[in-house]
Amino acid sequence: MAGQYHQYKLYYSTDGKKWNLLVDKATIKQIYLMNMRSLQHLFRPRYIRLENIHMPTGKFAISGLRIFGNGNGARPDMVKQFIVLERKR
């Protein structure tokens, strides 16, 4: 299907002023249902910026941008109480 691809650029910054390109998908024209990126180098960003280049519908939407890694501080405490609430439809 023509035009059914997503194009974007992902940047990172340590100060929110100088931005470095992390992922460049601005020229791809392939359909990705899930796009996971594993980085081979160590870096310590404070900010992440996503630049939309092309969306199939023309309206930009994002769901599930997740960044994994190790922080600089102590680990948070374990969750002691966890309750799942079901949303009724």
pLDDT tens for each residue of 34-70:
666 667 677 778 898 988 888 887 777 777 777 777 7
Task: Return d(Cα 8, Cα 24) in angstroms, integer.
Answer: 7
Band (pLDDT 50/70/90 cuts) for residue 20 is: very high
Higher pLDDT among residues 8 and 72, named by residue: 8
**Chain centroid offset of residue 51 CA:** 11
Q: Is the pTM of this model over 0.85?
A: no
Number of domains in the chain: 1
Higher pLDDT among residues 69 and 3, named by residue: 69
